[in-house]
């Protein structure tokens, strides 16, 4: 997305105080946001049709906004990037949400910087998950015969990863976004984006969560 382009966001949460909190966080950002609010399903459907958002920030709540609402979003605005911010921490709820390929999942305990990073990440077509969600997915990977990432006994060098790529993998796995990695490595964000795309293609991975799992599995990042 062009830097001067307005990012259209719908905030869907039954609690006005939560929506105000998100707007307050975004008000301190340099990007220009056009924000629409929805307090229930009817308002959300109407806003989706008229507003055509780039991003939907949704409070997953079985009473007000549940699994079915995400299906509606994807049918009305298929290119909309969905960010879940929820107090729901049960594994079955999290996995069910991720089945619909949401771009970000945060808990309501997440820091304001996590919300800012999630928006700046998903708007470029990349995914962002809180540490808690990553831990849930890694636990699921370990408990199921079908791993989230391809099983392999190869070490990174044997599958063609350069030292620079390993460094970038480590940075991504620790939660850094492209701008932060670029600054630390004295490279442009575009260069980091290209490296990231090439790494994902080379490893046949599709999200930062899978990359995190790979980094732990290969010893690039030690699991806590």
Name the CATH code of domain 7-140 (choices 3.40.50.2300, 3.90.1150.10, 3.30.70.1290, 2.40.160.20). 3.40.50.2300
Name 223's Cβ contacts closer than 8 Å, sequence gap at least 6: 138, 216
| pLDDT value of residue 144 | 52
Higher confidence at residue 107 or residue 143?
Answer: 107
* pTM check: above 0.95: no
Rounded Cα–Cα distance for residues 33 and 196 (Å): 26
State yes or no: pLDDT of 205 exceeds 90: no
Q: What is the mean pLDDT of residues 87-91?
A: 79
Looking at every residue in the chain, the average pLDDT score rounds to: 79
Rg (CA), the chain: 18
In this predicted model, what pLDDT tens digit does every residue of 164-173 receive, in sequence order? 888 898 888 7
Domain boundaries, the chain: 7-140, 147-217
| pLDDT value of residue 97 | 76
- Cβ-based burial of 189 (10 A; exposed 0-12, middle 13-18, buried ≥19): middle
Give the containing element (helix H, strand E) for 186: none
154 confidence band (pLDDT: 50, 70, 90): very low
Which of these, 22, 18, 45, lies nearest to 33 by C-alpha position? 22
Quote the Cα angle for 178-183-187, to 5°: 80
45 confidence band (pLDDT: 50, 70, 90): confident
State yes or no: pLDDT of 216 exceeds 70: yes
Provide, rounded to the nearest whole percent, the portion of the chain with pLDDT above 90: 14
| pLDDT value of residue 83 | 94
Q: Which CATH architecture does the domain made up of 147-217 adopt?
A: Orthogonal Bundle (1.10)
| pLDDT value of residue 4 | 53
């Amino acid at each position: 997305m062009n830097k001067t382009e307005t990012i259209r966001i719908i905030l869907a949460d039954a609690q006005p105080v939560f929506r105000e909190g998100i707007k307050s966080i975004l008000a301190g950002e340099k990007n220009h946001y056009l924000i629409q609010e929805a307090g229930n399903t009817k308002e959300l459907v109407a806003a989706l049709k008229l507003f055509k958002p780039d991003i939907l920030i949704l409070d997953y709540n079985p009473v007000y906004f549940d699994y079915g609402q995400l299906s509606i979003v994807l049918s009305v605005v298929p290119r909309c990037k969905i960010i879940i911010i929820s107090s729901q921490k049960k594994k079955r709820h999290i996995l069910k949400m991720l089945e619909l390929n949401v771009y970000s999942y945060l808990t309501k305990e997440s820091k304001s910087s996590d919300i800012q990073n999630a928006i700046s990440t998903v708007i470029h077509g990349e995914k962002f998950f809180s540490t808690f969600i990553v831990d849930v997915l890694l636990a699921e990977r370990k408990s199921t015969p079908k791993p989230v990432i391809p099983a392999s006994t190869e070490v990174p060098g044997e599958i063609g990863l350069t030292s620079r790529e390993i460094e970038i993998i480590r940075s991504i796995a620790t939660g850094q976004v492209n701008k932060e990695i670029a600054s630390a490595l004295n490279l442009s964000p575009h260069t980091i984006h290209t490296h990231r795309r090439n790494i994902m293609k080379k490893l046949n991975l599709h999200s930062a969560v899978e990359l995190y799992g790979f980094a732990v599995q290969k010893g690039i990042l030690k699991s806590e």
